[in-house]
Amino acid sequence: MTGEVGLRLERWSYSVLARLSGSSATQGYRPGVLTELVTGCSPLRTLRATLRFRAPVLVGRGARLSVARDATVRMAPGAVLSVGTSPMPRRTTQIRVEPGATLDVRGVVTVMSGSHVVVDDRAHLTIGAQTFLNTGTTVWCAESVTIGDGCAISWNVTVSDSDVHQLVRRGRAARRTRPVTVGDRVWIGAGATVLKGVDLGAGSVVGAASVVRESVPARSLVSGHPARVVDEDVSWEL
């Protein structure tokens, strides 16, 4: 009975927080979210971010959420952004949104401890509902990166739409950035790298340590360096 009462109290408290922040009172709720808030978060940073972005934003102790004054963070109704609150050993976690950039959070999104997310000047990053970035992952968005709903991005993954440095081949400068799209329910295995211009089709799976240079058909399994299709009509579950 005590557990049931505690759960009801937690749900009620969450609904109050959500209403105060202008978000939905029911969407995005999960049991234990307030315990996570109290034990794993910086109360001051969490409160400041929640009030600023008008939706629950949980900022872990030691994590940094740095958003320029003229940057935009859009939280969909019911969205919850969790930054560096995972129970794993705490490592530096950072989300940085530069001037003129946009971060769209479409639902419950978890950026685990040790991950780094950078949205460069005037770039646009979208992360879908129920998607998580595991420990040690880096997302570098210099132009446009879109990550769909229900994606599992494993530890030590790199996703980048930019070469960062300018490559010149036979006197001709290569295009430095090309948009990256990760479809819904994509699983990117540990240590994989997704390079500029790649479109990972919905339901596709990227094998561990693969380097993806070309777009991947939906529901395909790719592996290798460079990654190649090794199977089709695949599915996966957590």
Give per-residue pLDDT as tens, 180-237. Answer: 999 999 999 999 999 999 999 999 999 999 999 999 999 999 999 999 999 999 999 9
- Residues 6 or more apart in contact with residue 12 via CB below 8 angstroms: none
Q: Where are the beta strands (DSSP E) in 179-231?
A: 180-182, 187-188, 193-194, 199-200, 205-206, 211-212, 221-224, 227-231
pLDDT, residue 20, reads: 46
Per-chain mean pLDDT for the chain: 88
Closest CA to 234 of 207, 210, 204, 211: 204
Could you confirm whether 165 is annotated as catalytic?
yes
For 56, 61, 127, 217, the CA distances from 104, given in Å and listed in that order, are 14, 23, 6, 25
For residue 226, is the peptide bond before it cis, meaning its omega torsion is within 30 degrees of 0? yes
pLDDT digits (tens, 9 = 90+) for 62-98: 899 999 999 999 999 989 999 997 666 567 899 999 9
The pLDDT confidence band at residue 39, using thresholds 50, 70 and 90, is low
Per-residue pLDDT, averaged over 114-135, amounts to 96
pLDDT digits (tens, 9 = 90+) for 94-105: 999 999 999 999
DSSP H or E stretch at residue 98 = none
Region for 20 from its dihedrals, namely left if φ exceeds 0, alpha if ψ lies in -120 to 50, beta otherwise? alpha
The pLDDT confidence band at residue 172, using thresholds 50, 70 and 90, is confident
Q: Active site residue: 116, 124, 165, 225, which one?
A: 165
211-219 contact pairs (CB < 8 A, 24+): 218/183
Cβ-in-10-Å burial (0-12, 13-18, 19+) of 114 comes to buried
Closest CA to 185 of 233, 154, 147: 147
Is the sign of the CA dihedral 19, 24, 27, 28 positive or negative? negative
Answer whether residue 1 shows pLDDT above 50: no
Q: What percent of the chain has pLDDT over 70?
A: 82
Answer whether residue 122 shows pLDDT above 60: yes
Longest Cα separation, the chain: 74
Tell me the pTM.
0.85
pLDDT, residue 164, reads: 85
